Structures are given as structure tokens and as C-alpha cells.
Amino acid sequence: MNKKMYLFVISLLSILLAGPEGFAEKYALVIGNADYVEAPLRNPVNDAYDMTEALERMGFTVITATNVNQQKMEGLIRDFGNRLDAQDTALFYFSGHGVQADGENYLLPIGIDIASMDEIKYKSVNAGMILDKLDVAETRVNIVILDACRNNPFKRFRSLQRGLAMMSAPTGTLIAYATAPGSVAYDGDGRNSPYAKYLLDIMKTRGMKIEDVLKQVRLRVVDETEYRQVPWESSSLIGDFYFVPPSLSTPTPIPGVSSEAILATPSPGSAPTVQATIVSGKTMVGDYPQTSVRKLKQADLTGKTLWELSLMRNEIFARSGYIFKTQELQKHFEQQAWYVPRHKDVTVVSALLSELEHDNINMIKRYEQTQQAEQLQHKIPGKYPEASLKYLTDHDLENKSQEDLSIMRNEIFARHGHVFTRPHMKAYFENQSWYVPRTDDVYAQLSDIEKANIELIQHYERQAK
């Protein structure tokens, strides 16, 4: 595949897979550490798995890890930050031991071996790392939940301060602490910590703003612990965030469409006729009305092209009047007689959608991504095409040799026509039939995915030396 065709494929698929521009994807990183040598905990692994299940039901794409060491934790946070775009919602949840030292908060990995207090900052994960990644990504909504203020895991360090310290965070961020600054949270005797137990229960409430969710969690934790644990949060959120968005009390009226509308086919030369389906007295219009009235099945998606899947997904937004910024999508829906453009603000449209619609959007999106990967895997040249298609993870890299890592990284540059000067790489790529050398400076042509993957591969290359 030549360079022009490669760029055409990437551009085309970016259009097909785009949701309505600015519509927030929801990503979460969930970590639970329990198997500490000095002070093991009962519940963090359960907390992490239960939180993952809850967030996935709410439409989040979740990365979950339990009982991980420092290197793995930092790698997960790095990968998480690299995959975020400015319009996304990002959520970080940590359950385990956390300490403060010199006014900084540190999340403790598994396998930590600390001989003196001054080593904490070198062998733990600074909580500021996740905030820095969110700041760089400029994500519009950030939720950081730290159920990490358990009892002091280092009993021999009597001068270690209790609990966590308050942290400053980027605009658009809410930080929730399981207990007040300088205080200790409890692990609990049941399946989950008291904080996680009530958060998991209350966050499912439809139409409840996150500030109200956390207030209700605080009331219940305070009651259970008799004021020994008082959850706390600090916020610079702009706008409202719901774990489960509110539903409309009545369907959004669609001008020109009555409750008696039926499927109709226009006669030649006649004006377009609204196509609608009646389900439980509610009028649903479009080519794929089922996306708003029932949970989709695999059979609903199998055999559809990427363009058809994109239309199916975006039709959900169109019914609520979303004004698309992608020209192809806006033009398509303007040709539908039922479409009434109302809202440019995606947060308004998101609040209008039902939980079922959010679930179907995510199902279609996952299927699209699978189809995209399968199609592009055969069209992008090289031994490691995935390095230009998706954000790599530690799992993709941890067992590769230094030579394989070097080829993977340099293939990214080679696809854009980079002219190699090092004899080894020059000889390798000149033997690849797809390689066309053009320039010695291709960095500006790299995608955000490729830039992030180069950084991660370099990290593993340094470790392999």
C-alpha cells in the first residue's frame, strides 16, 4: 500500500468511526491492591472488580488491574493518559494503601520494600501522576476516586502522617477521598470497604449528579462508622456529571410526526415521508428504530458495513436533535424528513438519551472498533501494524526482545516515508516491498496514537538494555 492510499484509509475510517464530534467517550482506570507484605487488605480486589462491572454498565470503557507493582501501575497510568482526548470523560479509581509524605500523596504498589521514610517517594506512585496526565490530556471531565487512606502500613515509621493530603487538580476535575484529609478510612468486614459499598449502590441512581451521589455516600459512611470516617471531595467541575444520566419524563416531540405514524414508502415524485415505528406508544423514527427501544444483539450488527454501523449509532443522537460537525453525517440526516436539528451542545444530547441508548451506542462502537482493526490489520504494512492502529499496552510489549521493539518503533516512522541513516535500520526497511523513503522529518505526520506508542516502546527498549 502506498503512502497516499494509507492516509486515505486512515482518514476514511476516522470519519466512519467518529461519534458526533465532541461527544465524550468515557474511559476509566480501576486499580485494586490488597496483597501487601506488611499490611494486607481484605477488600480492594473486590472493590476494583465490582467498580469495573458498575462502570461498564454505565458505558465506560474500563482498564482494570489488581495487585500490581510500581512499574505496572505507572505503565497503566501512562497508557490511560495517552488514550484520552480533550472531549472525553476520564475516571480513575484506586483502592488500597495510600500515604502522604512531605505534603505529597503516594499510592502504594504491591511488593514495596521501604527501609526508611525517605524512600517512599521513590518506590511508590505519586498520586499527582494521574492528575498530570489528565492535565496534559485536557479532558473536559475528570473524576478521581481514592479509597486509599487505610491504616498506616508502615508501623515502624511513627512519624508518618495519617491519611492523605488535599491536592490541587486541573479545571474540570473532582477528587473524591474515602475520608477527610489527615484521617483514616476503614477496610470493612464485608465484601467491600464501607466507602466502596455505598458508592457502588448510590452511583446507580438515575439522574443524580455526582455531587449528590457523594453526599449520600458520606451520610451512609458516617452513620456506619459513627463519624470515625467522613468522606470528602474537592471539585472544580464545570457543568453537571451523572453516572447514569436522567431520562426524559416524556418523549421529545418530533414536529411533523404523530403518534399514529407508520412505515411508509413515498411514491415517485412525492415529498419524503416520515418512517416511524410505534413501540409502547412511543414514536421512533429512522432506519434503525430498534436502537432506542431494545437492547441490541450481535445479529443486529453482523454483516453491516462500517458506514451502516456509523449511521446506526449516530441515528440515536440524531433522534434527539444533535447537530453533527462531520459534514457527511450532517448531510445524511438533513435528508431525513424526521430529523430536526436542535442541539450543538453534546452534554444536552447525552442527558436526553436513555440508559438503553447509551448501552447500544457502546455496543455498536465496540463492534465498529473490532471491524476496523480486522480491516486495517490487512491494509497497513509492516510486521506490527497495531502500533499505528491502537494505543499499545504493557501486555503488547512486555515479552518482546530489544530488536523486536526497535523494529516496531521504527516501522511507525517507515510507514510515513522516514529516511533512515543507521545502516541496520536502513538495510532492514529497504528490504520491505512497501517502504518508500521520502524525508528525514516525519514527526509532524504522526498520529497521536503513534506518538504515544513510540514513547511507550522507548520505555521498554531502555529496560531491555
Tell me the DSSP string of 17-74.
H--STTPPPEEEEEEE----SSS--SSHHHHHHHHHHHHHHTT-EEEEEES--HHHHH
More confident residue, 44 or 160: 44
**pLDDT > 90: what percent of the chain?**
42
- Select, from the ranges 166-170, 253-257, 408-412, 455-459, the one with the highest average predicted confidence (pLDDT): 408-412
pTM: 0.57
Q: What is the mean pLDDT of residues 423-448?
A: 88
Is the pLDDT assigned to residue 4 strictly greater than 80? no
- Alpha-carbon distance 459 to 465, whole Å? 11
Rank 91-100, 152-161, 273-282, 368-377 by mean pLDDT and report only the highest: 91-100
Residue with the bigger pLDDT between 159 and 446: it is 446
Residue 373: predicted pLDDT: 66
Output 159-162 pairs: Cβ under 8 A, ≥24 positions apart: 159/117, 160/99, 160/101, 160/117, 161/99, 161/100, 161/101
Q: Which of 337, 461, 326, 425 is nearest to 11 (CA)?
A: 326
**Residues 195-224: tens digit of each pLDDT:** 999 999 999 998 899 999 999 999 999 999
> What is the model's pLDDT at position 239?
81
Task: Inform me whether the pLDDT recorded for 266 exceeds 50.
Answer: no
- Position 369 scores a pLDDT of 75
Q: Tell me, what's the pLDDT at 20?
A: 55
Mean pLDDT of the 344-373 span: 82
89 half-sphere exposure, CB direction, 13 A CA radius: 23
Dig out the grid coordinates for 356 from the structure: 438503553
286 in Cβ contact with 338 (< 8 Å): yes
Instruction: Look up cell 405514524; give the residue.
Output: 261
Per-residue pLDDT band at 351 (split at 50, 70, 90): confident
Sole residue written with cell 500515604: 99
Backbone φ and ψ for 195, nearest 5 degrees, come out as: -65, -50
Mean pLDDT of 331-359: 86
Q: What is the mean pLDDT of residues 176-191?
A: 78
Q: Mean of the per-residue pLDDT values for the chain? A: 81
The pLDDT tens digits for 65-74 are: 999 999 999 9
The most confident of the ranges 140-154, 256-270, 317-331 is 317-331
Residue 27 has pLDDT above 60, yes or no: yes
Structure confidence at residue 101 as a pLDDT band (50, 70, 90) = confident
- pLDDT higher than threshold 50 for residue 376: yes
120-128 contacts at long range (C-beta below 8 A, 24 or more positions apart)? 123/70, 124/70, 124/99, 125/70, 125/73, 125/74, 125/77, 127/98, 127/164, 127/167, 128/104, 128/167
What local confidence, expressed as pLDDT, does residue 305 receive? 84
Residue 250 — pLDDT band, cuts 50, 70, 90? Answer: very low
| Cα 389 to chain centroid, rounded | 17
Q: How far apart are CA 276 and CA 288, in angstroms?
A: 10
Output the pLDDT for position 264. 32
What are the chain's domains? Answer: 26-236 (3.40.50.1460), 278-373 (1.20.58.1690), 387-464 (1.20.58.1690)
